[in-house]
Amino acid sequence: MALSDFSILDSRRADDLGEYRRQLNAWLDEHADDLAPTQAAPTLDEHMAQMQRVKKRLFDAGWMRFGWPERVGGWGGSAMLRTELGAVLSERELVDPGKFSLIEVLAPTLIDFARPELAADVVPRLLSGEEMWCQGFSEPNTGSDLASLSCRAVPDGDAETATTWRVNGQKVWTSLAQYSERCVLLTRTGPADSRHRGITAFFVDMDTPGVTVRPLEMINGVREFAEVFFDDVPVPTERMLGPRNGGWSVAMSILPYERSSCFWQRIAYLYKRLERLVEAAPKDDRSAEVVGDVALQLHALRARSRATQHRLASGATLGAETSIEKVLLATAEQALYDAARRLLPGVVEFDDDPVAESWRTEYLYSRAATIYGGTIEVQRGIIARRLLDLGTEP
């Protein structure tokens, strides 16, 4: 398969999405047996292996290349093509959207801020499933107030001419760090009180001596995130992303993708789960009311998310208004899993078969929806102050 096989993409227009989706679904139908998960209730290890296998098959067939720039091994076209790929894979339950969409969180940042040779080398590895990357932002004393981070990078010699920096400190809640070959890491390079003006981003190899990863168990029993310790870790200056003390722009560049493409993929998955709930729930008035409420929440969210994606594709800069989507997503996700708990009494709590297990794990994971990617309280503060003009930042 080659780009020329996709006549729809020659025009590079986002409104060709329908045809792209049709061709993609036809290909996925044809390869369904090959791509299907091999386990009914996969462990995290099995799940990660499944995702990387799917990525590789899709990369080899070309699908993982659409929407990515040619300079990093992509085939070009609208970024909405790759978002749509993630949504279709999530709908088909071939990948978990939270893990798959880490590509959307980290690869655009690499493309925009890394040296072009570095981006050209590593982005295809991420797309093809050869590598995983993680996001080293949060620290034990730094979550919502990211500008106060303290993990420090110091130059070996003069900051202007040093070829190596040394990193010391700790990150926490780093998703999938134990599976990752690289980390997009925020470090303090200015004075301790320099806040967002003294932060530098690096792209760190996780097998560098001095990096220690300790997986942490989440409430659902899955060891999906980790503490990461940096003990005098040498990082070449050429791995700096953007300029020295320019790391805040790197951190902020992630927002438009996290709140558009990633959300679109997650919403596709939540619709699928709603469909599964409808199949399993009793067919009565109470179920209809509960399911109807969730469907409305998801629909409102999807309508808003769709508009955001089109705005992003047309070159608009996303800002505080995406906090509304974050609140809607977290609320709808929790409403869906609360509905599952109400309509399938005892299943989430007590049953042990793979289906119950997946509801239980996801119910518990949905509690984190109001925390990751910026807590719901912080988003409400942003909405109040920046969108509704209800006072200034503290």
Interface residues with ligand FAD (CB under 6 A) are: 134-138, 143-144, 173-175, 225, 368, 371-372, 374-375, 377-378, 381
C-alpha distances (whole Å) from 79 to each of 84, 231, 316 are 9, 38, 13
Please, which residue, 274 or 368, has the CB nearer to ligand FAD?
368
Strands (E), the chain: 133-136, 152-155, 164-175, 182-188, 199-205, 211-216, 225-236, 240-241
Within 10 A of 80 (CB to CB), how many other CB atoms are there?
24
For residue 273, the minimal CB distance to ligand FAD (Å) is: 17
Please pick, among 131, 258, 325, 362, the residue that the annotation labels catalytic: 258
Rg (CA), the chain: 21
For residue 163, the minimal CB distance to ligand FAD (Å) is: 27
Cβ–Cβ under 8 Å, residues 328 and 300:
yes
- What is the rounded CA–CA span in Å between residue 238 and residue 165? 10
Strand-pair category, 225-236 with 211-216: antiparallel
Please, which residue, 147 or 318, has the CB nearer to ligand FAD?
147
For residue 392, the minimal CB distance to ligand FAD (Å) is: 13
N-terminal to C-terminal alpha carbon distance within the chain: 55
> What is the DSSP secondary structure assignment for residue 76, as one 8-state letter?
B
CA 229-235-239 angle, to 5 degrees, is 120
Please, which residue, 74 or 374, has the CB nearer to ligand FAD?
374
For residue 203, the minimal CB distance to ligand FAD (Å) is: 15
- What is the rounded CA–CA span in Å between residue 252 and residue 113? 12
Please, which residue, 39 or 144, has the CB nearer to ligand FAD?
144
For residue 374, the minimal CB distance to ligand FAD (Å) is: 6
Does the annotation count 258 as an active-site position?
A: yes
The set of catalytic residues is 258
